[in-house]
């Protein structure tokens, strides 16, 4: 397989695949439009392993199995690895594309493509949508820039909101002595 990638628009990566035979089963963390240019190609599209996978979510410090974290969240590396046949979901679509045909692959759907008898060329156009997580991350980041409390560690915020143990014990002791 021969791949070329280029930026069509800022933030967009497009890839041209020249394949005589494709055997991998990837999924993408973005929407994909496939345009068949030359030859015929048989496509199998399977239900997603992770619905609406994210491009990247950093693991938390206590999450030990980083490969599993990436796979379960649908992270970028997980999408580029082959999916084992035992992990494939139900077949959602089987289609043969000829020159001029277009196929839409929603993010997360595992797909396989195989050239039929002759060399085959298709173009994959990635469409990176803005998710609610993207929007909320930007908004929260802008608010945190202006409000120092949102830049504190949660433990320090909880400690600031909780009465000090010594003061609480003193108040309890005084109340007991009064009664």
**Domain boundaries along the sequence of the chain:** 2-132
Q: What is the chain's Cα-based Rg?
A: 25
Query: Using CA atoms, how far apart are residues 81 and 104, in angstroms rounded to an integer?
Result: 21
Among 20-24, 65-69, 166-170, the minimum mean pLDDT is found in 20-24
Q: Are 36 and 99 in contact (CB under 8 A)?
A: yes
- Residue predicted with more confidence, 83 or 43: 43
Q: What is the pLDDT of residue 153?
A: 83
CA 92 to chain centroid: 20
What's the mean pLDDT in 20-38?
80
Query: Using CA atoms, how far apart are residues 104 and 148, in angstroms rounded to an integer?
Result: 44
109 pLDDT more than 90? yes
- CB neighbours (10 Å) of residue 18? 15
Alpha helices in the chain (DSSP H): 66-73, 76-80, 132-146, 154-161, 165-178
Query: Topology of domain 2-132, per CATH?
Result: Jelly Rolls (2.60.120)
């Amino acid at each position: 397989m021969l791949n070329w990638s280029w930026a069509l628009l800022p933030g967009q990566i497009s890839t041209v695949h020249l394949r005589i035979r494709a055997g991998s089963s990837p999924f993408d963390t973005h929407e994909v439009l496939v345009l068949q240019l030359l030859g015929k190609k048989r496509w199998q599209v399977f239900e997603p392993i992770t619905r609406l996978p994210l491009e990247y979510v950093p693991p938390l410090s206590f999450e030990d199995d980083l490969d599993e974290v990436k796979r379960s969240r649908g992270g970028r590396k997980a999408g580029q690895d082959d999916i084992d046949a035992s992990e494939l979901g139900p077949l959602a679509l089987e289609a043969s594309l000829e020159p001029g045909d277009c196929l839409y692959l929603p993010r997360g759907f595992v797909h396989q493509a195989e050239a039929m008898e002759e060399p085959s060329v298709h173009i994959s156009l990635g469409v990176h949508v803005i998710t609610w997580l993207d929007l909320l991350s930007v908004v929260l980041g802008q608010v945190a820039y202006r409000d120092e409390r949102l830049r504190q560690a949660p433990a320090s915020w909880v400690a600031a909101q909780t009465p000090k143990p010594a003061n609480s014990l003193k108040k309890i002791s005084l109340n007991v002595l009064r009664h």
